[in-house]
Structure 1
Amino acid sequence: MAGLTAAALAVVAFLAYQASANVPANLEKPAASSPKARPSEAAKGPRKDPLAVPVGSGKGVRVVYSLGERRVWLVGAGQLTQTFTVMPSTISPRPGTYEVRSRSGRIQGSDGVDIEHVVRFTTVDDVSIGFSAAVDGTLESPDPERKTGGVRMKRADGDAMWTFATIGSKVVVVP
């Protein structure tokens, strides 16, 4: 079953790459279109391969989280293991290198949602920042009035993160 899942993910990733490579130039949007993006980033335009691990995200085994692209890459020994989109929290970490500090199998998130596979890597303004998946499978935008640090992902992606990012694993946050 794991082999079929891996094969299916590979096919989906290839098709997504193919589709992104064939987007007409007049429909492309800069990857750094978030309000926090620096003008120099937006001027660069979209990356040639949006599924490729960002340049400058380090070397070796690591989790890479791009704030601007709202995407995570799980990078194994010399190769990309998996990539997926995420829903950022209301409080974001600064770009830099972190380590997984703690994990919880299943808890209630700061927004009151039951979450699983929580992988925490830093704290900002007394709010824990980490990756998690809502048990009910939702992937909603956080309430902008609440201080939350959960970077949400789909449950299957949360499973992959849980398996990949153990205590002490490197997490690299890029703009």
Structure 2
Amino acid sequence: MPARLPSWAWTTGLTVGAIAAVTVLAVQADRGPHPTASSAKPKSTASADTQPTPTASAPTRVPDGSGTGRRIVYSLGEKRVWLVDASEGSRRTFTVWPGTVNPDPGSYTVSSRNEGTTGSDGVQIEHIMYFAAKSGVSVAFSNAVDGASPPPAASGTQTGGVRMRKADGTALWAFGTVGTTVTVVR
């Protein structure tokens, strides 16, 4: 009678196989298309308003009146986020694609986090960080799982998603825990 493999051998083999599969998928995802900012001037259409406005040189200075201490700063007008450390230094800044519902300027805190779900526009999203609500719509930062960063808006749907590129979403997820201050400025 042939010898049976012990259960630990099966478990180890399955675990190694799963890790290999996830690694292959991660490499493939990283090689996929990455969004780039358009240099075209915004058009007078609703969809153009949801795209970040490119600038000649990315602003690195944290907006005045955005508070003090460790925080996330979100500028509605610049469609940009800053991750600010306790020494008031900007650790990272990046453009975002806001939804159709914007939070009012003010101070909020990250109230909850969700690793992944399907957005109201049908896109698979990850690194969801809820921080505000307006008109019954939750406002949260997130990024598309596939690395694309389309505006989080389906035709006629109110959305509170503030999308960003995948690398920026990963950085924000690592920076912002529940209770982290989010300052929204004009």
Unaligned residue ranges in structure 2 (runs of 5+):
1-47, 50-54
1:147–1:81 Cα change, 3 Å: same
Normalising by the residue count of structure 2, what TM-score does the alignment of the two structures yield? Answer: 0.67
Q: What amino acid maps onto 2:70 in structure 1?
A: V
CA distance in 1, matches of 2:58, 2:154: 31
Q: What amino acid maps onto 2:160 in structure 1?
A: G
Deviations 1:93-123 (A, max 9, x none): 0000000001000111111111000000011
CA distance in 2, matches of 1:97, 1:63: 10
CA distance in 1, matches of 2:64, 2:58: 11
Deviations 1:46-86 (A, max 9, x none): 9x972210011010000000000000000011111100000
1:92–1:144 Cα change, 3 Å: farther
RMSD over aligned Cα, in angstroms? 1.9
Tell me which of 59, 68, 76 is aligned to 1:59.
68
CA distance in 2, matches of 1:109, 1:143: 10
CA distance in 2, matches of 1:49, 1:57: 18
Unaligned residue ranges in structure 1 (runs of 5+):
1-33, 36-45
Tell me which of 70, 75, 80 is aligned to 2:90.
80
The DSSP-based 3-state class of the residue aligned with 1:88 is: coil
Normalising by the residue count of structure 1, what TM-score does the alignment of the two structures yield? Answer: 0.71
CA distance in 1, matches of 2:99, 2:185: 15
Q: How many residues align?
A: 131
Aligned pair 1:143/2:179, yes or no?
no
Q: How much has 1:126 moved relative to structure 2?
A: 1.4
Q: What amino acid maps onto 1:88 in structure 2?
A: P
Q: After TM superposition, where is structure 1 displaced by more than 6 Å over at least 4 residues in a row?
A: none
Matched ranges for 1:117-136 at <5 A: 117-136=127-146
Tell me which of 156, 171, 174 is aligned to 2:182.
171
Contact 1:133-1:153 at 8 Å conserved across structures: yes
Name the structure 1 match of 2:77: 68
The DSSP-based 3-state class of the residue aligned with 1:68 is: coil
Aligned pair 1:158/2:169, yes or no?
yes
CA distance in 2, matches of 1:91, 1:123: 9
Q: Which of these two proteins has the greater Rg computed from alpha carbons?
A: 2
Tell me which of 113, 121, 125 is aligned to 1:115.
125
